[in-house]
Amino acid sequence: MKDYKFLKKYDPELYKLLVFAEGYPANDPQASLIRLRQYGELLARLWASKLNVFIEAEESYSDLLNRLQDRKKIPANICNAFHQLRVGGNEALHFLQGDSKTARENLNIAKKLSKEFDLTFANHLEKSKTQTTSDPLSVCSEPTLLVGDSLELQEVFTMESPQTDFTGKELIGVDFSGRDLQGFDFTGAYLNNAKFCLANLKNVSFRGADIRGTDFRGAKYLQSHQVEDTLRDRKTRFPDRLQRVIDSQDF
C-alpha cells in the first residue's frame, strides 16, 4: 500500500481505511466492504468540501453523491464508483452479503478513486500550503462531518417508545453518558469523540462503527466482542477491565 501513502496528506484516516480494507478480502470480505464504504464516504465528503460544496448536517451519503452529480461537480463515472462502494458496504453491513471477489473489485475501485482525487486536487493542496505560509488567515479549515441536532437526540430519550436504531447515523461528539442503552444498535454509526461513560451497553451493537476518540470509561456490560469490528484509535478509551484485554490482544 506504499503507493497510496499520498492519501495521508489529505486525511490520514483515508490511508488507514484503505489499509484495513486490503487486509480483509480473503478472510473477511464483508469487513473489507464495510471499510471501503467508510472510505468512500470520507473521500466523497472531502471531495465535496474541496469543491466548496456545502454539506447539510442531516444529508445522507447517497443524497450528497446525487447532488454532486446533479450539479455536475463530479463526472457520472466517479459518482457511480462511489455508489458501488456505498451499496457494497451497506449490503455487507445490513444483510451480511459480499464475497472475496466483490471485495477485491471494490478495493480496486477505491484505489482508482484515490488516484483520481489526487490528480484533481494535488495542485490545489500545494496552493493551499503556499497561501497558509504567506497568510495564515487566507485559507479556511476544511469542514468536518457534522452531527445532528443534539436537542433532537435529547427528545429521543424522553419519548415513551424511544428510538433505539442509530444504524449508520452521524453521532460525532454526542454524549450518551449515564444512559440506559441496552439493545441499542449503532451498527456502522459515526461515533467519533462520542461519550458512553457509565452507560448501560448490554447487547449494544457497534459492528462496523467508527469509534475513534470515543470514551467508554465506566460503561457497564461492554464486552470485547462488541468492539471487534470497529474503527478505533489510541484515543478510544474503554472501561479498565476491557482496556487491559484490548491492550493485550489484536481484534
Q: Looking at the structure, tell me whether residues 130 and 6 fall in a common domain.
A: yes
The total number of structural domains that make up the chain: 2
Return the pLDDT at 57: 60
Establish if 142 belongs to a structural domain: no
Question: Which are the contacts of 34, defined by CB distance < 8 A and separation ≥ 6?
Answer: 89, 92, 93, 188, 208, 229
pLDDT tens column, 189-204 = 889 889 999 999 999 9
Establish if 139 belongs to a structural domain: no
Q: Looking at the structure, tell me whether residues 109 and 192 fall in a common domain.
A: no
Q: Looking at the structure, tell me whether residues 34 and 87 fall in a common domain.
A: yes
Mean pLDDT of the chain: 81
Phi/psi region, residue 193 (left: phi>0; alpha: psi -120 to 50; beta: rest), is: left
Establish if 232 belongs to a structural domain: yes
Per-residue pLDDT of the chain (251 residues; tens, 9 = 90+): 678 999 989 888 999 999 989 887 778 899 999 999 999 999 998 898 888 887 766 678 888 898 888 888 888 899 999 999 999 999 998 888 999 999 999 999 999 999 999 998 876 544 444 443 343 333 333 333 333 434 445 555 555 556 788 888 888 888 898 888 989 999 888 898 899 999 999 999 998 888 999 999 999 999 988 998 888 888 999 998 888 888 776 54
Q: Looking at the structure, tell me whether residues 123 and 163 fall in a common domain.
A: no
Q: Looking at the structure, tell me whether residues 103 and 74 fall in a common domain.
A: yes
Supply the CATH number for residue 234's domain.
2.160.20.80
Structure pTM? 0.53
Domain that holds residue 161: 147-251
